[in-house]
Amino acid sequence: MQSWPEWLPIREDLLNAKPYGAPQIDVAVKLNTNENPYPVPSAVKARIEKQVSASIDSLNRYPDRDAIQLRQALASYVNSSVLPGSKFDSKNIWAANGSNEVLQSIFLAFGGRSVGFHPSYSMHSLIAKTLLRSFNQIALTDTFEVDLDLTLEHIERDKPELLFITTPNNPTGKSVSLGVIEKLLKSQSSHGGLLIVDEAYGEFSSQMSAISFLEESPSLVVVRTLSKAFAFAGTRLGYAVARSEVIDALTLVRLPYHLGTLTQATALAALEEYGELLADVERIKDSRKFVAAELLKLKLDVIESDANFLFFGGFGENNSGRQFRSGELWQALLDRGVLIRDVGVEGYLRVTIGREKENEIFLAALREILTLD
């Protein structure tokens, strides 16, 4: 743990805090942060170069503060691909440097208590903590499902202003059914709260986006990102889809000119032909099915995934062969040049689906470790 010097007036509640983040270790096979493993296609690369180059001339000026053109492009993407036939425009879209910044703005704009689930995306509670907000976590069941009765009871008792749910969930990969989301939304709107649906892995999911509920209820914010399926994590661009009143509220808390000219130009170039960036989604889903089947052959317990990663266990106590704790298995893989993610749920590890060759190396290392006497 870091010890802070006396002279530093750091906030007391941060004294024992650790910065978020998976270890960024330089290894041959990196399957720990759920990115798309394929690089930006060359046609997109050429367009980005052109747009960025054209915008260099205006770098002496601040960017479009409201990023209208970019938000319109995101709305067009939603209307044509996420929820075909919908009619959102820039007023329904907020964009920021990664969906993490969008999430932070949501906490800044909307007050009070917040509730989420566990295990789920840890940044929801971490952002709440840095902003001195309460954040209660409701445990998922043993099979990582939402316990609907327990959750509704909690919501009715606590009346949280913000309820966060992630679908497909990270780290489990499981989708939350639209039926469950609809009930949570009704419950939140009945006391004037908001439901925040984090769909960072939406493009991999076989389920329709929760955006479809915006027509019947205003109490919904759907947060998405270009960091995962779009193979665009380095750009840092996330967005929210919501009723215009919600977006207006987010505008109140944004930092001026938060989205740089180059970020806007890069994202615009990418969204022009979004299909090219999403071209590898099917390939990744096929690889996921392959890796899941191979893990099952090793008698591991694999949670059904609707995303680009797998959460697996069965290497611990109940395993008849060699037994590992999560941290031990994680280290044994790292010793063989394969970095996956230990999210702190004992008995389970998470692996991102990589290129075919990377998946093979991961599986070979795992086979070797689990069958060593």
Ligand X SMILES: *Cc1c(COP(=O)(O)O)cnc(C)c1O
Contacts with ligand X by CB under 6 A lie at 34, 98-100, 121, 166, 170, 198, 200, 225, 227, 233, 238
* Whole-number Å distance between alpha carbons of 167 and 170: 8
Cβ nearer to ligand X, comparing 164 with 315:
164
Amino acid at 59: L
CB of residue 233 vs ligand X: minimum separation in angstroms? Answer: 6
Instruction: Report the residue number, 167 or 324, with the smaller CB distance to ligand X.
Output: 167
In degrees and rounded to multiples of 5, residue 76 shows phi and psi of -65, -40
Provide, rounded to whole angstroms, the least separation between the CB of residue 3 and ligand X: 30
**Phi, psi (deg, nearest 5) at residue 71:** -65, -35
Show the tokens assigned to 232. Answer: 């665009």
Nearest to 266 by CA among 241, 228, 234, 229: 234
Tokens 């970020």 belong to residue: 263
The least CB distance from residue 295 to ligand X, in Å, is 21
Would you say 151 or 166 has its CB closer to ligand X? 166
Q: What whole-number distance in Å separates Cα of residue 50 and Cα of residue 150?
A: 53
For ligand X, the closer of residues 198 and 280 by Cβ is 198
Least distance (Å) between residue 121 CB and ligand X: 4
Longest dimension (CA), the chain: 65
Which ranges of the chain would DSSP assign to H, the alpha helix? Answer: 42-56, 68-77, 99-109, 122-130, 148-158, 178-190, 244-253, 261-272, 274-277, 281-297, 326-335, 356-371
Closest CA to 165 of 130, 127, 115, 209: 115
Alpha carbon separation from 303 to 93, 174, 257, 296 (Å, rounded): 33, 7, 42, 10
Give the side-chain half-sphere CA count within 13 A for 128. Answer: 21
- Between 67 and 370, CB nearer to ligand X: 67
Q: Which is nearer to ligand X, 339 or 370 (CB)?
A: 339
Least distance (Å) from ligand X to the CB of residue 330? 19
The CB-of-237 to ligand X minimum distance in angstroms stands at: 7
Residue in the shown chain whose Cβ atom is closest to ligand X? 98
Give the integer Cα–Cα distance in Å for 361 and 246: 46
- Rank residues 222 and 291 by Cβ distance to ligand X and give the closer one: 222
68 vs 233, which CB is nearer to ligand X? 233
Q: Provide the 3-class DSSP secondary structure of residue 135.
A: strand
CA distance 347 to 338: 18
| Token pair 């209820």: residue | 217
**Min dist. Cβ of residue 148 to ligand X (A):** 21
Instruction: Tell me whether residue 126 or residue 148 sits nearer to ligand X (CB atom).
Output: 126
Q: How far is the CB of 306 from ligand X (least distance, A)?
A: 13
CB 64 to ligand X: min, Å? 20
